Amino acid sequence: MREDRKIIFFDIDGTIYDPGIGVPGSTRQALERLKDRGHIPVVCTGRPRCTVFPEITSLSFKGVIAGAGTYLEYEGQALRNLELPQETVEKALALLAEAGCPALLEGTEYLYYDREKDGPKTFGILERMLRQYPERLKASGPQAQIGKITVALQNPPGFWERLPALEKLFTVIRYEGKPVAELVPRGMSKARGIETLIDYLEIPWENTFAFGDGPNDREMLQYVRYGVAMGNSEGSVLAAAEYKTERMEQDGVWKALERFGLL
């Protein structure tokens, strides 16, 4: 193992990709340059593996951490695929139904949702899935094989009332200005996925970097040696990260990697 080899973890949405502009050209070039120099670029996303689409997998990534750490693969080999116990799924669905908040159940192979009540207006990702990957969609239910849950906060008071019960089962991640929350199994996070992968690859912590912009990135940015918040990050992420860079569309990834001397 080369002692100077670095491993760099990248969130997807708001960090290397935006549905309006795609992946910036400078980011594509940066990923290729990292790989050419022997470094290891890795996707590290809250998305489940089934929604890490070709515009991301076609890039120069050697590994994927998905589902906020619940799934991990390296060079096509799955190293972790955590699934919630059926009892936990049942409890979560019951609590969210009482709260009046729709749930999108996220698994490695499938998304599960209430086909009678919920659709693209509730969860935007369903529009693309229905159009391009309908075979990856299933009806919601307690037997769903999932790693995490995304919740639409259509009734915030009902959600807050049941938050203590949900927090016994999950780490609850909330967003600034977005009516959604993520329910991640307790003890799981992007940081734990990173920890598992660098142990597997025997890469020293001193050689770890990460880029992110959202609340599910905070722990990751604080865990690695060099955690970089994008200029378009939420305020809490900017406050938590030791390093900052320009916005995604202002070549923030390239500029930060260049400042670190990795390009």
Q: How confident is the model at residue 185 (pLDDT cuts 50, 70, 90)?
A: very high
* This prediction's pTM: 0.96
Question: 11 pLDDT exceeds 90?
Answer: yes
Residue 176: pLDDT band (50, 70, 90) is: confident
Map out the domains of the chain as residue ranges.
7-81+188-259, 86-185
Instruction: List pLDDT tens digits, range 58-78.
Output: 999 999 999 999 999 999 999
Predicted pLDDT at 177? 80
* CATH fold group of domain 7-81+188-259: Rossmann fold (3.40.50)
CA distances from 119 to 115, 140, 152, 182 (A): 7, 12, 11, 18
Residue 92 exposed, middle or buried by CB count within 10 Å (0-12, 13-18, 19+):
buried
Q: Using the structure block, give the residue that is written with the tokens 């690695």.
A: 224
In the chain, the percentage of residues whose pLDDT exceeds 90 is: 97
Residue 1 in this model has a pLDDT that exceeds 60: no
Note the residue count of the chain: 263
CATH value of 86-185 in 3.30.1240.10, 3.40.1620.10, 3.40.50.450, 3.30.300.180: 3.30.1240.10
How far apart CA 36 and CA 29 sit, in angstroms, is 10
Question: Can you tell me the distance from the alpha carbon of 227 to that of 218, in angstroms, rounded to the nearest whole number?
Answer: 9
Average pLDDT over residues 172-197: 95
pLDDT per position as a tens digit, 77-123: 999 999 999 999 999 999 999 999 999 999 999 999 999 999 999 99
Question: In which band, very low, low, confident or very high, does the pLDDT at 2 lie, cut at 50, 70 and 90?
Answer: low
Provide the 10 A C-beta neighbour count for residue 183: 26
| Residue indicated by tokens 């290729």 | 32
Taking the C-alpha atoms of residue 200 and residue 77, their distance in angstroms, rounded to an integer, is: 12
